Amino acid sequence: MNIEQILAILIFVVMFVTIVSGKVHRFIPALVGAAFTCVLVLFLVQSGTEKLWHILRPYDFVHASWWYGTHEAVQGLSAGSGIEIGGVNWQTIVFIAGMMTLVEGLAAVGFFRWLCLVVAKVVNYRIVPLLVTFTLLSGFLAMFIDSITVLLFLAAVTIELARLLKFDPVPAIIAEIFAANVGGSATMSGDPPNIVIGTSLGLTFMDFLTNTGPIAWVGMLVTLGLFYLIFRKVFSRPTWGDPASSGDRYPEPNEAITNRSLFKINSAIFILVVVLLLTHAETGLSVALIGVIAASLTLLASRKRMYHIMKGVDWRTLLFFLGLFITVGGLEATGVLAKLAQYIGEASRGSTFIVISFILWISAFSSAIVDNIPFAATMVPVIRNLAATSGFNLHTMAWTLALGTDIGGNATPIGASANVVGTAIAEEEGYRVSWGRYCKYAIPATLLVLGLCYLYLVLRYG
């Protein structure tokens, strides 16, 4: 390797280790890594100015096809240059920013707490039905909105009901975390790795739903049965009193609504955005444009609370994505990821079976011990190069990478952002979730679902 490649790897490794350490917010090492990458590419890489321009990709915003029409602008091709560099995935950043704005608007009017309490009331506040319905609700919501948001509200309501019904909420929260990650693997807008994969490769919501969706929900139902068997002793304990005859002790769903008119408007916006996501392959709307629509309508409906909604958006996470894409773009511009793809292609000997095995299990293992977002962002250009140089089906590798990163991230408390959020909320409320307790439940379930995914991928695509 030349000096440029060594430096690019060093910058990436230092950034990655700092992110994993958790001592500072992950956007800081990502932006620092991006700054060093820009200097490296600009001064040491041949045609550095041109390659840096294609890493930053500011021209994406002025291309009409990037907003509407074909998906060519999000497939990592530099316009007319012949240089294939992914660079900053603005589709991902704009879409996530828009959905964050929509979620803040929904949260402000009490939508998520209302939905949780409606489900609780429907099952008459019974513990076992609550476990089942909240787990399924977690998986379903994670198909459309960020799994972090799902856990923020679902875990809080679970703890609130646990105190009323006198049961340990930790098993339920672990099940909800698992369901959010599995449900998120079913669509492009679910888990952040899927957004990165889908927008980078020009895949649609329905592409994910028809390829990763079936096995995701098979895995969901299987693990729901497993968690029920594991937790049945905890949740079979009788509660104090009879919920059926004392419903007035429990919070009513309508109490969660803070503004009825805004509640209806924001709920309608949410439904519209879901419809746009389901049909964006047919309408030609890019996910970035859908994100802009979601944010614009939300801010327009909540004009008086616009500042508070914008303040609630997680800008640090958006900066993290920006820095991450630039740093990974440095690996791509220096040829590091092309070499990695070449090694994988040579080791696979042209076998799709070997490639599926390698990508799924390496992705799952890596995502269990480090955040799955940086891993997915790094692997996207690798599989794109692998498809171009070794002839493997790009979409098959995309589904394998999505399932490996999403499902594998379930195994440990730090494997995915939803895990960190869910366990942190529990600990803030006095329910400590140790690594031993979490992994005791999550690792068997993760291996079970990964095994199902492996069989599915090999039988359908191998």
Mean pLDDT of 51-80: 69
Indicate the burial class of 257 (C-beta count within 10 angstroms; 0-12, 13-18, 19 or more).
Answer: middle
CB proximity list for 120: less than 8 A, separation 6 or greater: 130, 133, 134, 157, 161, 250
**Helix, strand and coil in the chain, % to nearest 5:** 80, 0, 20
In Å, how far from its chain's centre is CA 155? 18
CA–CA separation, 256 vs 415, rounded Å? 32
Nearest in space to 200 (alpha carbons), one of 94, 55, 89, 285: 89
Confidence of residue 296 (pLDDT cuts 50, 70, 90): very high
Q: Please provide the DSSP assignment of 390-451 as one string.
A: H---HHHHHHHHHHHHHHHTTSSTTSSHHHHHHHHHHHHTT----HHHHHHHHHHHHHHHHH
Confidence of residue 404 (pLDDT cuts 50, 70, 90): very high
Indicate the burial class of 82 (C-beta count within 10 angstroms; 0-12, 13-18, 19 or more).
Answer: exposed
Domain residue limits, the chain? 93-312
The three-state secondary structure class of 68 is strand
* Residue 84: predicted pLDDT: 47
Query: What one-character DSSP code corresponds to residue 191?
Result: S
Query: Which value, in Å, is the radius of gyration of the alpha carbons in the chain?
Result: 22
Nearest in space to 146 (alpha carbons), one of 363, 317, 331: 317
Percent of the chain with pLDDT over 90: 32
pLDDT(243) > 50: no
Q: What are phi and psi of 158, to 5 degrees?
A: -60, -45
* Residue 72: predicted pLDDT: 44
Q: Among positive and negative, which fits the CA dihedral 171, 249, 154, 227?
A: positive
| CA atoms within 13 Å, Cβ hemisphere of 377 | 27
* Residue 428: predicted pLDDT: 82
Amino acid identity of residue 169, one-letter, is P
Q: Is residue 180 within 8 Å of residue 258, measured between CB atoms?
A: no
Query: pLDDT tens digit string along 102-142?
Result: 989 998 999 988 998 899 889 888 888 888 899 999 999 99
* Residue 166: predicted pLDDT: 82
184-193 b/e with 16+ CB inside 10 Å = b? bbbbbbbbbb
Confidence of residue 313 (pLDDT cuts 50, 70, 90): confident
More confident residue, 82 or 131: 131
Q: Is residue 253 within 8 Å of residue 121, measured between CB atoms?
A: yes
Q: Is residue 189 within 8 Å of residue 401, measured between CB atoms?
A: no
CA–CA separation, 381 vs 457, rounded Å? 21
Q: Among positive and negative, which fits the CA dihedral 265, 266, 271, 276?
A: positive
Q: Does the pTM of the predicted model rise above 0.85?
A: no
Query: pLDDT tens digit string along 23-60?
Result: 888 889 999 999 999 999 888 888 888 888 988 989 88
